[in-house]
Structure 1
Amino acid sequence: MSVSKRAGVVALTTAVALVAAGCSGSDDSNTGKGSGDTANGAITIDGTQPEVGLVPANTTETGGGQIIDFMWTGLVQYPNDGGAPKNAVAQDITTKDSKVYTIKLKPDTKFHDGTVVKAKNFVDAWNWAAYSPNGAQNGSFFSDIAGFADVHTEDPDADGPKKAPEPKSKTMSGLKVIDDTTFEVTLNAPFSIFPTKLGYSAYMPLPDVFFTQTPEEFGKKPIGNGPVKFVSWQDNVELKLTRFDDYTLDDKVKIKDVTVKMYQCATRRSDTSPFQAGQTRREVCWV
């Protein structure tokens, strides 16, 4: 599972605080126009090469998950203090019986290509992920939803000669678009904590353009709806992001540019905060 939603942006926020309070009055190559200029500053953070292209429902490891959490915002997000999930793109998530949920979106949130995030962008993304021929690694996360068994079939002998039977449907009966900002989710059975799952990367929306490309093409130049957007990706070297100025939710970042350096080894610092001054980096490798 990738890092919890907004763990990444919390890290960015911490970094911004360092830029603002760190070495004021002097220029720093890591902060653009100077340490106090957070609006145009830049930071570099540690990362690892994503194993696959950056498609939320197909990303299960930390290297890619870190980027997904920077680039996408889900229906809910998880506070850093461990409290209950809070609405993010969702304006309301309501239910009378814990089986049928009505999800209302905040109006006019946008993807990085400028298109508006609509209810269909969640429904289409969830159906794509659950449809087993697409091979999304997070497809099983939709098993709570009515109709999942009709879109998701299993290989009867794993990697053997037999193939998984063709699903009966390409869409789940439990998903219904009501209007541009509202959709309905019907579960197989009552599940009162279903909304708490909806900040995980599997449940992120996908823009319309995703469905005009292959997942591989999209994943190398991804378009999310989060506080930072994609700029460039040099395999095994670095991935560049920049602030999405049309982002309207509360966790908008103040720093402008973010570079994720891709190391062969995971890195750890001597302090619990990853962005405090005076730390020394030490590598920790798993083999």
Structure 2
Amino acid sequence: MKFKKKLAVLLASALAVSTALVGCSSGSGGSSGGTELSVNIGPEPTTIDPAKNSAVDGATLINHAFEGLMKQDKDNKIVEAQAAKYEVNKEQTVYTFTLRDGLKWSDGEPVKAEDFVYAWQRLVNPKTGADYNYMIDMVKNANEIMAGKKKPEELGIKALDKKTVEVTLTTPTPYFLEVCAFPATFPVRKDIVEKNPEDWSTTESTYIGNGPYVLKSWEHQSKMTYVKNKNYYDLDKIGPDTINFVLMEDKNTMLSAFKNGEILFTDDLPSEEIDAMKDKGLVIEKQLGTYFVSINVKKEVLDNVKVREALTLALDRDYIVEKVVQGGQIPADSFVATGLTDADGKTEFHDNAKKWYDVKDYKGNIEKAKKLLKEAGYENGKGLPSIELMCNPGHEAIMEAIQSMWKENLGVNATISSQDWNVFLETRKKGDFQVARDGWLGDYNDPISFLDMWVTGGGNNNAQWSNKKYDKLISEIKATTDAKERYSKMHEAEDILAKDMPVIPLYYYTDLYLISDKLEGMYTSPLGFKYFMYCKVTE
């Protein structure tokens, strides 16, 4: 999932501004004593439409207002959510979900099996333009629908009755239940969405969900206030009566608000403050993700693979990790993140992957980079136009390090442009850039989550890259039930990505956040989601 700092489901094996807001307050009423919690998970979201969101901060907001057939619990396990139970046929291709009794939307209307059918059909409908349409490409007819060859109504999901959802897959998919816990598959109401397709999710009155909280008010660029959904089936277990998601993008502003007690949680902080905050609320956890930069392969000069490889080899990842980001990150020597097992279930996929370069042989990498740039016709950077490095606020220091290394090692000039989060996402999505900061958190516990995004025309393929052999491999990976063959082909796919190098891996993520000792019960996913619905605020 795109990472703000960038969306994702779970890895069971992984370790586990604006107004002056009070971090918590006590009042009367409610099972939690009228608690009000203020936190920061990011800036103004680009969208909180379950089908259209592809960022981690948006996913956290959606997780509080909606709920899928399945969900992730505090132990990083996938458990029943809107579904009370499910059954799977012997071939592992037909899943039958039975909804809980008495489920209701936040406006009191009943949640029906048909709501899930509509949401999934909408997700793969080309008219929706969902980046995550491929999330359910294992469902029967999904690929044909996305290609415009079949109608959304032909998707392999149907409501057997008001409480029963049946999903038919083309091939057994080991991570399918994780997909059922992913925000893109959450139900939405057809009557609400189709009345106002573009803006239903931007207005409190029409943002009707089936999750533990409901959006009460949205002060744009300031805060989003969520209150308990009185119709939620598990209401008695829900914590704060009110959650204020304070919208901030500047890391220094976040830190100041946390220190002043205006918020009890913030999802980022300035790198230079990491040491100072280590005993003052800083938490560093493992995370299933890769920080990289995308190279727009359609832009002049950057369409030359030798130039792309030279730019990749000229970077000192050890320096970036140790001196710039300073959060325990691991220098990346391939694209698929650490933390995913290989076919044997014992070794890591990353450990068995061919390395794109030797992180420790920085001198040798530079020599090879110089040679490649000369072969491309730009010896010592002569004749190579200046390259623009695009990022969102908070990532300028990394871009400056890249800029300096390219200049010093290759004679390549670069400029830096920083755009607000929402503008940045849209610019990058349109391909209106040369080189852009990027990041990805896995969506489920499988390497394919890092590989299928790069198929031709993929909604998250920011590099605008296309390779027919790669596309064919991804299709074969998703069609086979042979684990050994499947993982072998995933390694082969990553090797193609390395050969064409449309991306420059920098490091594997860690999750850094600040949390007050007054906040208990908050949990996270190794894929970036934050869960505040079961929190308790103490004095």
Equivalent residue letter for 1:176: K
Please report how far the alpha carbon of residue 72 of structure 1 lies from its aligned counterpart in structure 2 after TM superposition. Answer: 1.2
Q: Do 1:239 and 1:261's aligned partners in 2 also have CA atoms closer than 8 Å?
A: yes
- Which residue does 1:22 correspond to in 2? none
- Which residue does 1:85 correspond to in 2? 78
Any idea what the Cα deviations from partners look like across 1:47-101, whole Å, max 9, x if unmatched? 323443311121111221121011111111112223x311111112111221011
2:517 to 276, 284, 287: 276
Any idea what the Cα deviations from partners look like across 1:186-233, whole Å, max 9, x if unmatched? 111122442232111011011233333333321113221111101111
Q: d(CA) in 2 for partners of 1:240 and 1:93?
A: 34
Please give the residue correspondences for 1:1-287 in structure 2 after superposition, counting only pairs within 5 Å.
1=1, 2=7, 4=9, 30-33=24-27, 38-82=32-76, 84-96=77-89, 97-153=91-147, 166-221=148-203, 222-249=207-234, 252-265=237-250, 267-268=268-269, 270-272=281-283, 274-277=515-518
SS of aligned partner of 2:73: coil
Equivalent residue letter for 2:102: D
Q: d(CA) in 1 for partners of 2:25 and 2:240?
A: 9
SS of aligned partner of 1:38: coil
Structure 1 gap ranges (5+): 6-27, 154-165, 279-287
Please report how far the alpha carbon of residue 43 of structure 1 lies from its aligned counterpart in structure 2 after TM superposition. Answer: 1.0
Q: Do 2:23 and 2:38's aligned partners in 1 also have CA atoms closer than 8 Å?
A: no
Please report how far the alpha carbon of residue 111 of structure 1 lies from its aligned counterpart in structure 2 after TM superposition. Answer: 1.1
Please report how far the alpha carbon of residue 127 of structure 1 lies from its aligned counterpart in structure 2 after TM superposition. Answer: 0.2
Q: Do 1:129 and 1:139's aligned partners in 2 also have CA atoms closer than 8 Å?
A: yes
Bigger shift: residues 208-217 or 227-236: 208-217
Q: Do 2:27 and 2:33's aligned partners in 1 also have CA atoms closer than 8 Å?
A: no
Q: d(CA) in 2 for partners of 1:74 and 1:50?
A: 24
Q: Do 2:9 and 2:72's aligned partners in 1 also have CA atoms closer than 8 Å?
A: yes
Q: d(CA) in 1 for partners of 2:182 and 2:241?
A: 25
Q: d(CA) in 1 for partners of 2:236 and 2:25?
A: 20
Q: Structure 1 residues 74 and 29 mapped into 2: Cα distance closer, same or farther (>3 Å)?
A: closer
Tell me the C-alpha RMSD between the 2 structures.
2.5
Please report how far the alpha carbon of residue 262 of structure 1 lies from its aligned counterpart in structure 2 after TM superposition. Answer: 0.6
Please report how far the alpha carbon of residue 37 of structure 1 lies from its aligned counterpart in structure 2 after TM superposition. Answer: 8.1
Q: Structure 1 residues 57 and 132 mapped into 2: Cα distance closer, same or farther (>3 Å)?
A: same
Q: Do 2:64 and 2:211's aligned partners in 1 also have CA atoms closer than 8 Å?
A: yes
Normalised by the length of structure 2, the TM-score is: 0.42
Equivalent residue letter for 2:134: S
Normalised by the length of structure 1, the TM-score is: 0.76
Bigger shift: residues 48-57 or 99-108: 48-57
Equivalent residue letter for 1:235: H
Q: d(CA) in 1 for partners of 2:282 and 2:233?
A: 33
Q: d(CA) in 2 for partners of 1:203 and 1:139?
A: 10
Please report how far the alpha carbon of residue 176 of structure 1 lies from its aligned counterpart in structure 2 after TM superposition. Answer: 1.6
Q: d(CA) in 1 for partners of 2:33 and 2:109?
A: 25
Please report how far the alpha carbon of residue 251 of structure 1 lies from its aligned counterpart in structure 2 after TM superposition. Answer: 7.7
Structure 2 gap ranges (5+): 2-6, 11-21, 251-266, 270-276, 284-513, 520-539
Equivalent residue letter for 2:85: D
- Which residue does 1:15 correspond to in 2? none
Q: Do 1:115 and 1:207's aligned partners in 2 also have CA atoms closer than 8 Å?
A: no
Q: d(CA) in 1 for partners of 2:131 and 2:165?
A: 24
SS of aligned partner of 1:126: helix
Equivalent residue letter for 1:172: E
Q: Do 1:32 and 1:42's aligned partners in 2 also have CA atoms closer than 8 Å?
A: yes
Q: Do 1:123 and 1:177's aligned partners in 2 also have CA atoms closer than 8 Å?
A: yes
Q: Identity across aligned pairs (percent)?
A: 21
Q: Structure 1 residues 215 and 63 mapped into 2: Cα distance closer, same or farther (>3 Å)?
A: farther
Please report how far the alpha carbon of residue 242 of structure 1 lies from its aligned counterpart in structure 2 after TM superposition. Answer: 0.4
The structure that has the greater radius of gyration is 2
Q: Structure 1 residues 193 and 37 mapped into 2: Cα distance closer, same or farther (>3 Å)?
A: closer
Q: Do 1:93 and 1:195's aligned partners in 2 also have CA atoms closer than 8 Å?
A: no
Any idea what the Cα deviations from partners look like across 1:219-259, whole Å, max 9, x if unmatched? 11322111110111122111111011221137841321111
Bigger shift: residues 89-98 or 211-220: 211-220
Higher relative contact order (CA 8 A, sep 6+): 1
Q: Do 1:130 and 1:136's aligned partners in 2 also have CA atoms closer than 8 Å?
A: yes
